């Protein structure tokens, strides 16, 4: 594995058209009337795909008003369409293409639908990125049907990059939640933790949401202290990854241990401990793609290849 290989869910090959064009209602209308308009179609059970390729479906009717304009490719506009739009009531809608809590295939997986985790390992780089982009936006639309300010119903504006409240005039923008994820290292050993809900023997990098009024570097130091009870030096940024379950951006760091013995301060992790480089080398040879694979006895299980945590670990191994 080349360390420089891009993270899964990146690499969308579209002009996102996120500029003055979207504010021009005539331009947006022209995209909806474009004969080359196609759509990524996704619903509660997954995104439409066949033979390992994301389907771009041509419209045989006018493009519906609630289609989300993702951007443009060489053949015209590309939209995202929710094939199971939530009912009008306030009930909390399910996530689009969640593929189960641990990435289980959705019930209709055999029927040309891929859960998002499955899509991340089955589709090519650009298609998986496009699936993540479409599903991320569709999930945001599902959960922002009502104004956070006044509670009235909101409507689509700017081709789907905004939901606007007709009652109070508030504009709501698609949301991305920053998460820091970090490898704590100390020479030939690395600190990993596991959550109770994970498959047996699976350990991964520590991670947590960034708080308001906090830098990424401060979040790394705080989360390591809270989850593992150890202190660390200055974090070094490595790379980032959209993680649309439903709206995170994972920002990956490495950081050196400076003191303290691992032991959870909060209940978030079931276990946190050091692993020697040799244990991680052996685990990295197991090419697990699925989050829930490998319940049988054996050694350490790393996160699947589509997760940035796995890339951080392989980068650490590759660093000698
Ligand atoms: Zn409002």
Sequential DSSP letters for 156-207: EEGGGTEEEETTT--EE----EEEEEEEEEETTEEEEEE-TTSPTTB-B-EE
Selected residue with higher pLDDT from 217 and 102: 217
Find the mean pLDDT for residues 59-84. 95
Cis peptide before 246 (omega within 30 of 0): yes
Residue 2 has pLDDT above 50, yes or no: no
**From ligand 1's centre to the CA of 122, what distance in Å?**
41
CA distance 200 to 216: 30
| Residue 267: pLDDT band with limits 50, 70, 90 | confident
**From ligand 1's centre to the CA of 154, what distance in Å?**
7
pLDDT at 89: 82
Residue 27 has pLDDT above 60, yes or no: yes
% the chain with pLDDT above 70: 90
pLDDT at 1: 43
pLDDT at 265: 66
CA distance 292 to 201: 11
Residue 6 has pLDDT above 80, yes or no: yes
**From ligand 1's centre to the CA of 141, what distance in Å?**
15
Element (H, E) at 155: strand 154-157
Per residue in 111-133, pLDDT (tens digit) is 788 989 889 889 999 999 999 99
Burial of 204 (0-12, 13-18, 19+ CB in 10 A): buried
pLDDT at 99: 63
**From ligand 1's centre to the CA of 146, what distance in Å?**
8
Per residue in 201-251, pLDDT (tens digit) is 899 999 999 999 999 999 999 999 999 999 999 999 999 999 998 999 999
pLDDT at 23: 96
Residue 299 has pLDDT above 80, yes or no: yes
pLDDT at 268: 80
Residue 157 has pLDDT above 60, yes or no: yes
Residue 320 has pLDDT above 70, yes or no: no
**From ligand 1's centre to the CA of 173, what distance in Å?**
13
DSSP assignment, residue 111? Answer: G
pLDDT at 59: 92
| Residue 5: pLDDT band with limits 50, 70, 90 | confident
Find the mean pLDDT for residues 292-309. 77
Q: Cβ(210)–Cβ(178) under 8 Å?
A: yes
**From ligand 1's centre to the CA of 163, what distance in Å?**
10
Residue 295 has pLDDT above 60, yes or no: no
For the chain, the average pLDDT equals 90
Selected residue with higher pLDDT from 105 and 188: 188
Residue 292 has pLDDT above 70, yes or no: no
**From ligand 1's centre to the CA of 91, what distance in Å?**
18
For residue 137, give the nearest of 209, 37, 85, 70 by alpha carbon: 70
**Tokens at 263, concatenated:** 């032991």
**From ligand 1's centre to the CA of 162, what distance in Å?**
13
**From ligand 1's centre to the CA of 253, what distance in Å?**
38
H helix count then E strand count, the chain: 7, 17
pTM metric for this prediction? 0.91
């Amino acid at each position: 594995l080349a360390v420089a290989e891009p993270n899964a869910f990146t690499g969308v090959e579209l002009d996102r058209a996120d500029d003055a064009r979207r504010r021009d209602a005539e331009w947006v209308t022209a995209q909806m009337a474009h004969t080359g308009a196609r759509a990524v179609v996704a619903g509660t059970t997954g995104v439409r795909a066949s033979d390992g390729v994301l389907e771009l479906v041509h419209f045989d009717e006018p493009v519906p008003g609630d289609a989300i304009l993702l951007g443009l490719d060489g053949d015209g506009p590309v939209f995202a369409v929710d094939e199971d739009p939530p009912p009008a009531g306030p009930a909390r809608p399910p996530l689009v293409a969640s593929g189960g809590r641990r990435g289980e295939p959705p019930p209709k997986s055999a029927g040309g639908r891929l859960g998002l985790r499955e899509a991340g390992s089955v589709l090519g780089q650009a298609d998986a990125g496009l699936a993540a982009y479409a599903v991320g936006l569709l999930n945001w639309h599902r959960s922002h049907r009502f104004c956070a300010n006044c509670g009235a119903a909101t409507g689509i504006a700017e081709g789907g990059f905004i939901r606007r409240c007709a009652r109070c005039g508030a504009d709501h923008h698609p949301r991305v939640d920053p998460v820091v994820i970090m490898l704590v290292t100390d020479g030939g050993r690395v600190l990993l933790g596991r959550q109770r809900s994970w498959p047996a023997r699976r350990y991964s990098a520590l991670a947590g949401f960034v708080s308001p009024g906090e830098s990424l570097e401060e979040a790394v130091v705080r989360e390591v202290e809270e989850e593992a009870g150890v202190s660390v030096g200055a974090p070094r940024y490595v790379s980032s990854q959209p993680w649309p379950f439903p709206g995170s951006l994972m920002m990956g760091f490495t950081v050196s241990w400076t003191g303290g013995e691992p032991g959870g301060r909060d209940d978030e992790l079931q276990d946190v401990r050091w692993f020697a480089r040799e244990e991680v080398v052996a685990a990295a040879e197991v090419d697990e793609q699925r989050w829930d694979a490998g319940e049988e006895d054996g050694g350490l299980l790393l996160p699947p290849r589509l997760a940035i945590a796995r890339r951080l670990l392989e980068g650490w191994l590759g660093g000698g």
